[in-house]
Amino acid sequence: MQYQIEPIGIIHSPYREKFAVPRQPNLVPSATAELHLQGAANTLEAVRDIEQFSHLWLLFLFDQNLEGGWRPTVRPPRLGGNARVGVFASRATFRPNGIGMSAVTLKGVRKQGDQIILDLGGIDLVDGTPIIDIKPYIPYSDSIPDAIGGFASEEPDTLAVTLDLAQFPMLSSNQAQVIQEVLAQDPRPAYKKGKPDSKEYAVHLFNYNVRFCYHEDGVTVTGIDTRTV
């Protein structure tokens, strides 16, 4: 039996590629995004009273991974990228139906012409991600204080980031904060962590190509170039 799913909206976020997207929501709290509703869902009636809730669950498609298929075991970054666990014991992006979920902050709802927009915070989704459902986050049932988080019980460590704002006057304060929070998460492959690394990396954030290097004291932003695409 097969079912057809039609997206109800599209995310517009600072993350223009998969590399460096936070591995969980709210690890980069300064990252904001817009959810543009579409089709029959693009109406104020569909989001009536949603602002009563501070947070939302977003169900979405890992659309960039769907053609890659899936395997029953994966290698989570939190285990160093070597140990394998079952795909259902992880939040891996390659899944049987390519469905993910994120708990995000709802900052507001607005209408811009005919477009209904939800302003969100703490986002961890690539720009252009299709959203297939929205549900309110309910604290008394969705938050379980004594839950056990297995191999992901603790929040990941972060690194110190050096970003000289005087060198990059094109950045707004929010953009600079997002860049710092993203790089502090160390988006490199898991096997690179804790090892000497002389490579210069780059990531597409906002409309910038951000170049950076890792060293034993943390991360240094080495260059930022404006991208036209």
Percent of the chain with pLDDT over 70: 100
Domain co-membership, 123 together with 171: no
pLDDT band at 197 (very low <50, low <70, confident <90, very high): confident
pLDDT at position 101 is: 97
Is the confidence at residue 225, as pLDDT, over 80?
Answer: yes
Domain end among 109, 142, 175: 142
pLDDT band at 112 (very low <50, low <70, confident <90, very high): very high
pLDDT band at 229 (very low <50, low <70, confident <90, very high): low
Q: Which residue has the tokens 């930022």?
A: 224
> pLDDT tens digits for 21-71?
998 999 999 999 999 999 999 999 999 999 999 999 999 999 988 888 999
Domain count along the chain = 2
The answer to the question of residue 171 being in a domain is yes
The answer to the question of residue 147 being in a domain is no
Domain end among 142, 177, 202: 142
Domain co-membership, 93 together with 193: no
Domain co-membership, 105 together with 190: no
The answer to the question of residue 87 being in a domain is yes
The answer to the question of residue 123 being in a domain is yes
**Does residue 91 come out as left (phi exceeding 0), alpha (psi in the -120 to 50 range) or beta?**
alpha
Strands (E), the chain: 9-12, 32-37, 55-61, 73-74, 85-86, 99-112, 115-121, 130-136, 161-162, 200-205, 208-215, 218-226
Is the confidence at residue 196, as pLDDT, over 80?
Answer: no
Domain co-membership, 213 together with 172: yes
Domain range for 134: 9-142
The answer to the question of residue 85 being in a domain is yes
pLDDT at position 198 is: 87
The amino acid that residue 102 corresponds to is S
Domain of 71: which CATH number? 2.40.30.70
Domain co-membership, 44 together with 107: yes
Domain co-membership, 57 together with 96: yes
The answer to the question of residue 1 being in a domain is no
pLDDT at position 66 is: 83
The answer to the question of residue 149 being in a domain is no
Domain co-membership, 56 together with 128: yes
Domain co-membership, 36 together with 100: yes
Taking residues 221-225, report their average pLDDT.
96
Taking residues 79-86, report their average pLDDT.
88
Q: Tally Cβ neighbours within 10 Å of residue 210.
A: 24
Taking residues 75-101, report their average pLDDT.
91
Domain co-membership, 134 together with 184: no
Taking residues 133-161, report their average pLDDT.
93
Domain end among 113, 142, 171: 142
The answer to the question of residue 153 being in a domain is no
Query: Which residues have C-beta within 8 Å of that of residue 25, sequence separation ≥ 6?
Result: 102, 103, 104, 122, 123, 124
